[in-house]
Amino acid sequence: MKSYFEPSDIIEVVSFVTPSSIRQHRASNATTTTRTVLGTVGIIVGGILGGILLIALIVTTIVNSFLSSIGCYIATMAYGSYDAPEVLVLRRFRDEKLNKTFMGRVFIANYYAFSPLLVRFVKRTGFAERLIRRKLDGFVNRLRTKNNW
């Protein structure tokens, strides 16, 4: 039977594979493996964060559009109508001033979260309805004067 290897082939392979070349090959593989793992983790984490940011953007857009479509609970209670001129001024203030800043949007979100409870309390007890209207009157008058509304 004929051998596929000649003695010179074996010498060439043995002289090519030395302990230092094996160490170098292992180090190179470890570096490549590390880079591959870190790259994969980066893609996964980036994808997750990107997805979270996209979801946050969608939710924020939906909430803002919902909030701008509903009225002012406390002002509507105080003035008796969603279309009262004072309520229109307050909605304009919400849309043109508050909604343009981060803290304003935080205020709006909290207002819509808690004002229905306040309105229910005030309507049941009758407490502070006139006081709320007086405070709103002063605020609406300042808004009209300052902004020429």
pLDDT tens column, 25-38: 555 566 777 777 77
Q: Which tops the pLDDT comparison, 10 or 141?
A: 141
**Helix, strand or coil for residue 88?**
helix
Decide: 103 and 149 in contact? Cβ < 8 Å.
no
Q: Which tops the pLDDT comparison, 21 or 77?
A: 77
Contacting residues for 81 by C-beta, under 8 A, at least 6 apart: 87
How many Å apart are CA 128 and CA 89, to the nearest integer?
22
Q: Is the dihedral of CA 55, 58, 61, 63 positive or negative?
A: negative
Q: What is the pLDDT of residue 8?
A: 61
Question: Does residue 141 have a pLDDT over 80?
Answer: yes
The domain limits of the chain are 1-58, 70-149
CA distances from 66 to 53, 60, 112, 126, 142 (A): 20, 10, 10, 29, 27
Query: What is the token pair recorded at 59?
Result: 């939710």
**Helix, strand or coil for residue 70?**
coil
Q: Is the dihedral of CA 148, 108, 77, 130 positive or negative?
A: negative
Q: What is the pLDDT of residue 58?
A: 65
Q: Which tops the pLDDT comparison, 110 or 63?
A: 110
Q: What is the model's pTM?
A: 0.52
CA-based nearest residue to 69, from 100, 104, 112, 110: 112
List pLDDT tens digits, range 47-103. 787 777 667 666 655 555 444 444 578 999 999 999 999 999 999 999 999 999 999
Q: What percent of the chain clears pLDDT 90, i.e. is strictly above it?
A: 34
